[in-house]
Structure 1
């Protein structure tokens, strides 16, 4: 059940939409501006930023220079510099295994053939209390699910990030002093969440290839959940009958639950989740503080997934 909002509800539009028009015209002329991010003829652009409130796009600089990617660094600014040489190509491989009819190791080129790439504007809410509005390029995760054909035992999907300390120096040292996270980074969804039409496998942002610091070449985007669920640089998708143990849930189970749905009524043990700081431009000053919406503004689309589930206990 997709809601489509008018483009005029997002401001400013000119930078992104003019670029989009340019890229599409470039593609129509037969010259591919970008293998991953150029939209095929007939691709669509949708504002799915939530409840229709007027939202301002976060700038491209902010989106690509304010990142949590601890495989590189705990600094939000350093991943952009550290990822400058991380440019995975078409030979990137993803192992898709488990309770499915068509297990295998597929290249990025294989996977990109399965789904229709489109542009989507989503709200992005970090568990730390900041948020953005991001124009992604990508395709519905459901395209992968339909291709590999899960069987009746497949209740969950488990995702893993690339483990390679040569690429990700944060994987070979403690992230927080002497303590480290259990690598590789792992996340999970129920199969119903994964198959929801809002769940996106992102391949680009602002009409360009997804940069390394944003999780190139494939990252999950689940807009009604806190950002740590949107796992980056995916190399493994496993269909299973057991609930995956997510990395942050494994490390701090009282702070980071499996579902991680945006919920202003359930505070993080160390801070309130009732409001958020909306980051729009590179100055990072005068950040607007706004009320947080249940399910990040996507209640009408996703609340039915959790009918009968106590969202305080199952946070």
Structure 2
């Protein structure tokens, strides 16, 4: 739980760094810089993951190239960092569905109920989005959420000696894809102009995105996914928008409106409901057993 909450804190504040970096770099160029710095020179140090190349390729394409290409573009085209952090959590539902289809990890009834409670929070955002985001920004962020979910499935297929090695090699795969995308869609002239006008704030933002969010965040995330089921790990990401909203309000002055707070409460409530599944089942079992056995010991006592 400590590792999961640390990842939530890192990824929740990462949206601030993305917003700052996008002031200087277009989205595909920023993605290429992120992937290049995340991969090099680490690929010469860390071992290649032991898995068929198609799994590593799928991991790099979905978890990095597609997810961040869509996410950076969505924020660049009008979606605020706080809302982006919230809408990206639709990946929870995608991940549970894909885990059931490919790994037969059937989520429990209480986890489904917890997810539905959280989905109410996402519905509140959709109902109040109004002029705070463009439709294209919303659609691109939802596509990023699906890409992240698909990438999680490849994470479970790859037998990496270390989660960090998988992250590094995944970034190496995404790097040339984003370089080509930036040169084709943004153009060499814009790329050169952006690099020549890099500020210290942008350098700090890129450092956070690469070494804190990518190396530490995704390395720890890969460890959790390899150690526990997707339905147990993925719901922690529902806390990311809470950190995203608060950090956006503090550092960027994003309005913390009542409906954002309400949506966050539903999302947190759904997460807590799912996490307390074991306690709920245990208490229910104890209460029913007491009818049959008067002196039933509790917790081995």
Q: TM-score, with normalisation over the residues of structure 1?
A: 0.26
> Greater Rg, structure 1 or structure 2?
2
Which structure exhibits the higher relative contact order, with contacts defined as CA atoms closer than 8 Å and separated by 6 or more residues?
2
Structure (1 or 2) with the greater helix fraction: 2
Structure (1 or 2) with the greater strand fraction: 1
Q: TM-score, with normalisation over the residues of structure 2?
A: 0.27
